[in-house]
Amino acid sequence: MITTMMTHSLQARAKDVLPDQKTAILYARMSIGETGLMGSDVLSERFQPMRSFCLSLSMNSIDGTERIFALLFDGAEIFMPMQETFFALRFAMLRDRFGASRRIINDPNRKRIRYATRQR
């Protein structure tokens, strides 16, 4: 759930913001369960495509996994289409239209694997 979003046009020095940056996100915050995620757009003069970062999203249901993939699909470069694998009921890898690399997974063994990892 998105809890806060502010564009550069709403900041105190909005008159100094370039016209093409007015709708860029200065600050955004969303909550996923008990976790908070914050982000912002990078100004155009500093922007470089992301290549060394991948956001992995683990979903509880196949339907949710497929829904998120469908939302990110438009304009994306698909590295691995959504499919069942030996390690997950659904898994996909892509670079979205914004240049962010993403992995989306529905893994029914997630709790068992976390527990096994802690026991080492």
Structural domains for the chain? 1-47 (no CATH), 49-120 (3.30.720.110)
Sheet with 2-7: list strands edge to edge: 2-7, 25-32, 35-39
Please report the sign of the dihedral spanned by the C-alpha atoms of residue 79, residue 83, residue 85, residue 91: positive
Quote the tokens at residue 119: 């026991």
- Its pTM stands at 0.60
Distance between CA atoms of 117 and 98, rounded to whole angstroms? 34
C-beta of residue 76 within 8 angstroms of C-beta of residue 95: yes
For 43-91, the pLDDT digits (tens) are 777 777 766 678 888 888 899 899 999 999 999 999 999 999 988 999 9
